[in-house]
């Protein structure tokens, strides 16, 4: 582990900025979802009404958890089909200056599932596969809707926890529309223009051919990048316009844009935690959960920084200088394979930590080339359930399930019926919470095992030794958790070969499971809790708004995560680390 003063400063300043953003965004979320006036009513209120009218929806009528969930599923289903269709006929549609052909059927299906579930796993390279129209109408719009769906599900779950003796959790159509119009679009408009200012292009021109001073020709792709980049980060989607994602200078041109991209990943998830506290009537409830997230985030960020800054001893042995040379400002040092110069180590490892703590999955450096421990942090972040701020919405509802598990365990310790926010946690709630917690690791691990014992699964592995195991484990963890980042050496992109078929089919399946099979039990849980009345707090009530609860919550998360995944880590990154420091290569 090696730490530079600057690397540490980057993490701390970033965290301070996040803290500043949390409360204002949380309060704004309250305005959006509790239907208070926002600044944008004069512009968007007529649009909002028109949508309800066209949908035949009465905006004052709320729904129970079943109607809310079924509405969500139907909406996602319709969007998935529309995206599939656009991909399949893109060559016949306008805005295709690079002449992209129709997308392969299986790849279209995988991509449709991927963008619908907010995963944005990409078995293709954007600049060689998708037309501008597909990027814009197909992919960018899914970045919005999948983010909005995640957010409104979290809002419904919070309502279930905080309302008393009610059937209704809100109206899905109203929440969805308001989230898109009042939250996502206004922020993205400003954000996209900021990105353009920094250098992100936004145009419909064809790819530009330049001839360098030495006479080399280079074809530079263009497109409506900035508008998609904004929602890609803000909605924790992560699907890059270009193959190199946020490492590509056109997606992330400067350290400034990189900072804002990282902040925008965490902004809404952190704001939602404050929103939760506000709705419980005790903001300390929110801050207790926020603190647990903050600690898990900071620990991960520091370990990733230390591991990558230390560099690869096998390269040092060849005579490469990986020391930071910090005070001369001459070079960042560290493990620079697969990293960009403008980001160096600090801005790369912080980005990698943030993108996997949340379910974003955008990358600004290739995780496959990280040192074993540096690359293990993103893996662990995802496998803990992406609850460290987490995906927009999914992070909060995932964390609340852990909160329920934590009070249950505390209840077992003192022999008392557990309560959370005054609601009794009983058999049904525990069944649903356990189901939600177990579904993700069960699918991640069993499909990793499948990948490791079948020929098409193994054939895709790019790096030998334990690193290969990590590639497959990372892939299924990322897809099940709806992250979308990758140990991208894994060869899943050659259309037609057996690995392509294997990973596209299994991938689409586990992404859908990871999104919907996870959220349905949680919605059932929210519906059940909403019906309960509140028990007044007594002397034996375990307080969930203080440091003791924060500590217990972290303990529960780590125990569940470690018990589930430690054997896999031991076979992958941990053994690889030992091999790396002992000079073994494959």
Partner 1 sequence: MSASRPARRASTSRSRETAATSKAVTSPETADKTATETTTDTSQQPDLQEREPFWRMSLRLLRPAIVATLALTLITGIIYPLVVMGLAQAIFPSQANGSIIYVNGKPVASSLIGEYWTQARYFHGRPSATLPGPYNAANSGGSNLGPTNSALKMTVKQRIAALRKENPDVPPGTPIPVDLVTASASGVDPDISVAGAYYQIPRVAKARHLSQAVVTQIVNAHIQGRFLGVFGEPRVNVVELNMALDAYSQQHAQSSHTSLAAEQDAPQAMKFPQSAAEE
Q: How far is the CB of 68 from partner 1 (least distance, A)?
A: 9
Helix (H) or strand (E) holding 578: helix 575-581
Q: Which is nearer to partner 1, 173 or 287 (CB)?
A: 173
Q: How far is the CB of 383 from partner 1 (least distance, A)?
A: 19
- Give, for 198, the enclosing helix (H) or strand (E): helix 185-198
CB 255 within 8 A of CB 343: yes
Terminal Cα distance for the chain, rounded? 23
Cα torsion 453, 454, 458, 460 to 10°: value is -150
Q: Are 370 and 352 in contact (CB under 8 A)?
A: yes
CB nearer to partner 1: pick between 253 and 361 = 253
Q: What angle do CA 363, 364, 365 make, to 5 degrees?
A: 95
Whose Cβ is closer to partner 1: residue 189's or residue 559's?
189
- Residue with Cβ nearer partner 1 (361 or 385): 361
Q: How far apart are CA 105 and CA 92, in angstroms?
A: 16
Least Å distance between CB 184 and partner 1?
8
How far CA 246 is from CA of 282, 485, 523, in Å, comes to 38, 11, 33
Instruction: Considering the complex, state which of residue 91 and residue 203 has its C-beta at the smaller distance from partner 1.
Output: 203
436 with 521: CB under 8 angstroms? yes
CA distance 237 to 245: 12
The nearest distance, CB 584 to partner 1, in angstroms, is 7
- Shortest Cβ distance from residue 182 to partner 1 (Å)? 12
What span, in angstroms and rounded, lies between the C-alpha atoms of 568 and 524?
Answer: 32
70 phi and psi angles, rounded to 5 deg: -65, -40
Q: Tell the smallest beta-carbon distance from residue 108 to partner 1 (Å).
A: 17
- Considering the complex, what minimum distance in angstroms separates the CB of residue 379 from partner 1? 13
Cβ closer to partner 1: 249 or 546?
A: 249
Least distance (Å) between residue 311 CB and partner 1: 7
- Asked if residues 306 and 2 have their Cβ atoms less than 8 Å apart, the reply is yes
Measured from the CB atom, the residue of 462 and 559 that comes closer to partner 1 is 462
Residue placing its CB nearer to partner 1 in the complex, 129 or 291: 129
The nearest distance, CB 475 to partner 1, in angstroms, is: 13
Residue 432 or 560: the one with the smaller Cβ distance to partner 1 is: 432
Cβ-based neighbour number of residue 62 at 10 Å: 19
CB atoms within 10 A of CB 189: 12
Nearest to 391 by CA among 442, 356, 436, 363: 356
Smallest gap from Cβ 557 to partner 1, in A, equals 27
Least spacing, CB of residue 518 vs partner 1, in Å: 20
Give which of 382, 385, 389, 378 is closest to 307, Cα–Cα: 378
Residue 182 sits at the vertex; the CA angle it makes with 139 and 275, to the nearest 5 degrees, is: 105
Indicate the residue among 240 and 441 with the shorter CB distance to partner 1. Answer: 240
In the complex, what is the shortest distance from the CB of residue 560 to partner 1, in angstroms, rounded to a whole number?
A: 28
Residue number with CB closer to partner 1 (30 or 409) = 30
User: What is the spatial distance between Cα 206 and Cα 95, in angstroms, rounded to a whole number?
Assistant: 9
State how far the Cα of 103 lies from the Cα of 410, in Å rounded to an integer: 52
Cβ 333 vs Cβ 345: under 8 Å:
yes
Q: Are 115 and 146 in contact (CB under 8 A)?
A: yes
- CB nearer to partner 1: pick between 77 and 555: 77
How big is the CA angle at 356 (ends 316 and 582), to the nearest 5 degrees? 25
Strand pairing category for 423-424 and 419-420: antiparallel
DSSP-assigned letters across all residues of 495-549: TTSHHHHHHHHHHHHHHHIIIIIHHHHHHHHHHHHHHSPPPPP-TT---SSSHHH
- Minimum separation from the CB atom of position 231 to partner 1 (A): 8
Which CB atom, from 312 or from 550, has the smaller least distance to partner 1? Answer: 312
Q: What is the DSSP letter of 223?
A: S
Shortest reach from residue 255's CB to partner 1, in Å: 2
Give the residue with the Cβ less far from partner 1, 215 or 415.
215
Q: Is 28 left (phi over 0), alpha (psi -120 to 50) or beta?
A: alpha
């Amino acid at each position: 582990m090696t730490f530079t003063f600057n690397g540490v400063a980057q993490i701390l300043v970033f965290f301070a900025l996040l803290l500043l953003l949390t409360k204002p965004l949380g309060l704004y979320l309250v305005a959006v979802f509790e239907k208070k006036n926002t600044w944008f009513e004069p512009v968007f209120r007529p649009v909002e009404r028109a949508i309800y009218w066209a949908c035949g929806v009465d905006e004052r009528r709320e729904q129970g958890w079943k109607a809310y969930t079924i509405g969500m599923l139907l909406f996602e289903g319709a969007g998935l089909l529309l995206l599939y269709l656009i991909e399949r006929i893109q060559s016949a549609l306008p805005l295709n200056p690079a002449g992209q052909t129709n997308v392969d059927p299986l790849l279209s299906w995988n991509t449709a599932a991927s963008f619908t579930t907010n995963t944005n796993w990409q078995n293709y390279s954007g600049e060689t596969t998708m037309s501008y129209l597909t990027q814009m109408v197909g992919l960018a719009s899914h970045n919005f809707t999948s983010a909005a769906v995640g957010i409104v599900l979290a809002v419904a779950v919070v309502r279930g926890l905080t309302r008393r003796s009610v059937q209704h959790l809100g109206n899905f159509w109203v929440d969805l529309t308001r989230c898109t119009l009042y939250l996502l679009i206004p922020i993205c408009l400003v954000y996209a223009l900021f990105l353009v200012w920094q250098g992100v292009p936004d145009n419909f021109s064809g790819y530009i051919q330049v001839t360098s001073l030495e006479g080399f020709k280079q074809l530079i792709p263009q497109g409506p990048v900035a508008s998609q980049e904004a929602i890609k980060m803000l909605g924790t989607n992560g699907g890059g316009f270009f193959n190199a994602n946020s490492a590509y200078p056109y997606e992330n041109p400067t350290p400034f844009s990189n900072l804002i991209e990282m902040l925008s990943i965490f902004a809404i998830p952190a704001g939602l935690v404050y929103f939760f506290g506000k709705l419980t009537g005790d903001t300390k409830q929110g801050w207790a959960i926020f603190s647990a997230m903050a600690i898990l985030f900071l620990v991960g960020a520091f370990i990733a920084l230390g591991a990558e800054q230390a560099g690869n001893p096998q390269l040092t042995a060849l005579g490469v200088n990986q020391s930071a040379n910090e005070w001369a400002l001459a070079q960042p040092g560290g493990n620079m394979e697969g990293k960009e110069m403008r980001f160096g180590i600090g801005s790369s490892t912080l980005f990698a930590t943030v993108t996997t703590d949340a379910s974003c999955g955008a990358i600004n450096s290739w995780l496959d080339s990280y040192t074993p421990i540096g690359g293990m942090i993103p893996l662990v972040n995802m496998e803990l359930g992406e609850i460290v701020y987490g995906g927009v919405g999914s992070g909060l509802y995932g964390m609340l399930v852990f909160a329920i598990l934590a009070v249950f365990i505390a209840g077992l310790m003192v022999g008392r019926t557990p309560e959370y926010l005054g609601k009794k946690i009983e058999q049904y709630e525990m069944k649903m919470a356990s189901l939600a917690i177990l579904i993700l690791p069960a699918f991640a691990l069993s499909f990793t095992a499948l990948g490791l014992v079948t020929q098409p699964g193994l054939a895709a592995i790019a790096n030998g030794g334990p690193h290969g195991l990590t590639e497959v484990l990372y892939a299924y963890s990322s897809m099940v958790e709806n992250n979308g980042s990758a140990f991208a050496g894994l060869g899943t992109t050659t259309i037609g070969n057996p690995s392509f078929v294997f990973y596209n089919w299994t991938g689409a399946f586990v992404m859908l499971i990871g999104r919907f099979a996870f959220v349905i039990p949680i919605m059932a849980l929210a519906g059940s809790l909403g019906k309960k009345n509140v028990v007044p707090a007594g002397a034996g009530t375990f307080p969930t708004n203080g440091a003791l609860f924060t500590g217990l919550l972290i303990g529960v998360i780590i125990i569940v995560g470690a018990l589930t995944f430690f054997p896999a880590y031991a076979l992958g990154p941990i053994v690889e680390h030992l091999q790396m420091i002992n000079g073994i290569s494959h």
